[in-house]
Amino acid sequence: MTGSAARLIYVVGPSGAGKDTVLRWLATHQRPEARLHVARRTVTRPAGDASELHEPVTPAEFAQLLRAGAFALHWAANGLRYGIRCEELLALDNGSSVIVNGSRAALYETRRRYPEVFVVQITADMGVLRQRLLMRGRERPEVIESRLSRTARLPIVNVDAVIRNEGTPEQAAVQFIALLSP
């Protein structure tokens, strides 16, 4: 990504697609000249969940932060509240691109607020999604099937690029980096 202009990169995709895994790989393996910042989310999920690096807050704390204008972006999904603090986007002002692990539900609002956003969908085959969700162990099988059913009904719309993450995190990250290269 050397030599390209800073931009907001908004990642969407179904649960189990490996978005957090790919972004974690990018954050830990990028070259310094890549000038890439992976934004940390604030989530109403306990800190003990190792599947994503996030700032855990209670629903009351989230509401207080929202009222205080602490979030550049925020949304609700899967029974949780998610936010990207304003300071997470400051890297844009310093010439770095910022990657946000977002939500399809908030995509319209994100495009409205940041018209130049580059939207990447990370996805996988339904069988791969099912296997990953079962291995994650966060939800009961019937909840997983409901999520997969919802994923099958949601068309891929309004995205700039699609990455199929059905191999290793490194393979998906290489695809991601290729998208960002000038």
Residue 95 structural domain: 8-180
- Number of C-beta neighbours around residue 83 at 10 A: 22
How far apart (Å, rounded) are the C-alpha atoms in residues 101 and 106?
11
Of these ranges, 17-26, 36-45, 63-72, 131-140, the one predicted with the greatest mean pLDDT is: 63-72
Inside any domain, residue 19 = yes
Inside any domain, residue 39 = yes
Inside any domain, residue 3 = no
Res. 72: pLDDT tops 60: yes
Number of domains in the chain: 1
How far apart (Å, rounded) are the C-alpha atoms in residues 78 and 136?
15
How far apart (Å, rounded) are the C-alpha atoms in residues 80 and 63?
12
Q: Which of the four pLDDT bands, split at 50, 70 and 90, describes residue 79?
A: confident
Inside any domain, residue 2 = no
**Tokens (6 digits) for 171:** 């393979």
Arithmetic mean of pLDDT over the chain: 86
**Helical (H) or strand (E) element with 153:** helix 141-153
Question: CATH code at 95?
Answer: 3.40.50.300
pTM score, whole prediction: 0.86
Q: Provide mean pLDDT across the span 67-74.
A: 97
Inside any domain, residue 142 = yes
Between 137 and 99, residue with greater pLDDT: 99
